């Protein structure tokens, strides 16, 4: 790696423009234009609070590194979604999902969502701001740090345990049980709700294009496919020449692979992503979740920047893609969160040893 200067994310974000209140109102109007039915009373109050939460946002920072890959220096921009009010890309998704159910929010309403962590944290903090109870349905893979954050934000945490590897199927069954027992429960359904990709089409995508005017390729990880599906719709409409690369991990079925063991939360899924069609990406890269975790540890050692697990996978995928594509010199990786959620897993030496991650050796692409 050459000529690298790592700006602390907080310092970098100070130069980024805030989203003005007018933009916040405009974004909310474009979102709510897709609603079936009008919003009044409690739902209308929620919408006006959502406008304020959007106005709190600043564009998340892009930190650019020069990395020598296959003998050639490349510029890799990392867009740090962890530098945002709820500290992950899922803050934007949470705002949109809540906006989508405002016509149904009345007195006594309770929000329910199945989550691998970040969406739950954002929903919990947002619901607490809005004065709405929230139930997060999680599985036993949820990192302890995220469970603490969920409880700290006042969420009810329901663990969908049971046999078998498919935590998602168990979580969805639990959500359905909760909703059929309580008519006031509202499931925001990140897996099927079109407001998931919509917010990334209207907000995250245009923000990326403004910050990376000369990027040649964009790397985005997949779980529900909301981020990739939405951002790619913006790219297709506004800059069709930009290459979009979807990233998944081995053992995930999100991009059509075969189910198997994996160690990262946030990226991958036990079933194909419903928010994607064949046109959503130009290429895909599937890396092992172990290599994603190892990439996180190596990157922090090399640069001081601690990325979240899915970001490590996205970076590993980008490095591999760059090695095979010498003409690509400027790329951007969307990094959904930072190291804080993974202190007990990826960044814990005992955990890393148990997983067989070898510490200290730089990957060939970084030499």
Ligand X SMILES: Cc1ncc(COP(=O)(O)O)c(C=O)c1O
Query: Among 69-77, 126-134, 217-225, 285-293, which window interacts with ligand X (CB under 6 A)?
Result: 217-225
Among the listed residues 113, 207, 285, 337, the single contact to ligand X using CB under 6 A: 337
Considering the complex, what minimum distance in angstroms separates the CB of residue 338 from ligand X? Answer: 10
Considering the complex, what minimum distance in angstroms separates the CB of residue 125 from ligand X? Answer: 15
Query: Among 9-17, 24-32, 53-61, 221-229, which window interacts with ligand X (CB under 6 A)?
Result: 221-229
Q: Is 225 in the site for ligand X (CB under 6 A)?
A: yes
Among the listed residues 111, 310, 321, 331, the single contact to ligand X using CB under 6 A: 310
Q: Is 222 in the site for ligand X (CB under 6 A)?
A: yes
**Long-range CB contacts for residues 320-326, cutoff 8 Å, separation at least 24:** 320/285, 320/287, 320/365, 321/217, 321/219, 321/245, 321/283, 321/285, 322/67, 322/69, 322/70, 322/74, 322/76, 322/365, 323/69, 323/70, 323/365, 325/217, 326/70, 326/72
DSSP assignments along 301-365, one per residue: HHHS--B-HHHHHHHHHHHHHHHH-TT--EEEEEE--BGGGGTTTTT-HHHHHHTTPPPSPPPGG
Q: Which H or E run includes 234? A: helix 226-238
Considering the complex, what minimum distance in angstroms separates the CB of residue 226 from ligand X? Answer: 4
Which is closer to ligand X, CB of 105 or CB of 269? Answer: 269
The two tokens of residue 138 are: 């999680």
In angstroms, rounded to a whole number, what is the distance separating the alpha carbons of residues 241 and 188? 34
Considering the complex, what minimum distance in angstroms separates the CB of residue 92 from ligand X? Answer: 10
In angstroms, rounded to a whole number, what is the distance separating the alpha carbons of residues 357 and 27? 43
Q: Is 266 in the site for ligand X (CB under 6 A)?
A: yes
Q: Is 306 in the site for ligand X (CB under 6 A)?
A: no
Binding residues among 115-134 for ligand X as defined by CB under 6 A: 116-119
Considering the complex, what minimum distance in angstroms separates the CB of residue 110 from ligand X? Answer: 21
Q: Is 292 in the site for ligand X (CB under 6 A)?
A: no
Among the listed residues 43, 143, 205, 226, the single contact to ligand X using CB under 6 A: 226
Q: Is 100 in the site for ligand X (CB under 6 A)?
A: no
Query: Among 2-10, 103-111, 215-223, 241-249, which window interacts with ligand X (CB under 6 A)?
Result: 215-223
In angstroms, rounded to a whole number, what is the distance separating the alpha carbons of residues 310 and 348? 16
Which is closer to ligand X, CB of 19 or CB of 231? Answer: 231
Considering the complex, what minimum distance in angstroms separates the CB of residue 225 from ligand X? Answer: 5
Binding residues among 20-49 for ligand X as defined by CB under 6 A: none
DSSP assignments along 20-67, one per residue: PHHHHHHHHHHHHTT-SS---HHHHHHHHHHHHHHHH-BPPPEEEEEE
Between the two ends of the chain, the Cα-to-Cα distance in Å is 7
Among the listed residues 96, 174, 224, 289, the single contact to ligand X using CB under 6 A: 224
Q: Which chain residues interact with ligand X by CB under 6 A?
A: 88, 90, 116-119, 221-228, 266-267, 308, 310, 336-337
């Amino acid at each position: 790696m050459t000529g690298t200067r790592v700006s602390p994310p907080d310092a970098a974000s100070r130069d980024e423009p805030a989203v003005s209140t007018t933009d916040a109102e405009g974004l909310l109007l474009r979102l709510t234009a897709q609603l079936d039915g009008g919003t009044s009373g409690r739902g209308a109050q929620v919408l006006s609070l959502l406008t304020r939460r959007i106005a709190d946002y600043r564009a998340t920072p892009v930190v650019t590194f020069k990395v020598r890959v296959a003998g050639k220096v490349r510029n890799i921009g990392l867009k740090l979604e962890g530098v945002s009010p709820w500290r992950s890309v899922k803050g934007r998704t949470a705002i949109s999902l809540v906006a989508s159910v405002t016509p149904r929010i009345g007195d006594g309403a309770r929000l329910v969502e199945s989550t691998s962590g970040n969406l739950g944290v954002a929903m919990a903090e947002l619901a607490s701001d809005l004065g709405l109870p929230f139930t997060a349905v999680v599985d036993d893979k949820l990192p302890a740090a995220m469970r603490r954050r969920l409880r700290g934000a006042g969420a009810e945490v329901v663990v969908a345990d049971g046999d078998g590897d498919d935590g998602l199927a168990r979580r969805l069954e639990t959500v359905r049980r909760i909703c059929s027992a309580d008519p006031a429960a509202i499931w925001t359904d990140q897996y099927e709700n079109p407001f998931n990709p919509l917010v990334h089409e209207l907000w995250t995508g245009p923000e990326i294009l403004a910050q990376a005017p000369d990027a040649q390729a964009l790397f985005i990880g997949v779980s529900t496919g909301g981020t990739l599906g939405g951002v790619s719709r913006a790219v297709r409409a506004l800059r069709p020449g930009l290459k979009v690369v979807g990233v998944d991990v081995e053992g995930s079925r999100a991009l059509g692979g075969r189910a198997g063991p994996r160690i990262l939360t946030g990226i991958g899924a036990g079933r194909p992503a419903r928010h994607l069609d064949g046109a959503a990406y130009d290429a895909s890269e599937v890396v092992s979740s172990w290599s994603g975790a190892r990439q996180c540890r190596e990157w922090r050692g090399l640069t001081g920047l601690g990325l979240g697990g899915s970001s490590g996978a996205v970076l590993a995928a980008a490095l591999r893609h760059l090695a095979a594509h010498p003409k690509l010199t400027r790329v951007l990786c969307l990094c959904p969160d930072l190291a804080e959620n993974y202190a007990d897993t990826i960044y814990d030496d005992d955990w890393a040893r148990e997983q067989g991650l070898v510490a200290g050796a730089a990957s060939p692409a970084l030499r």
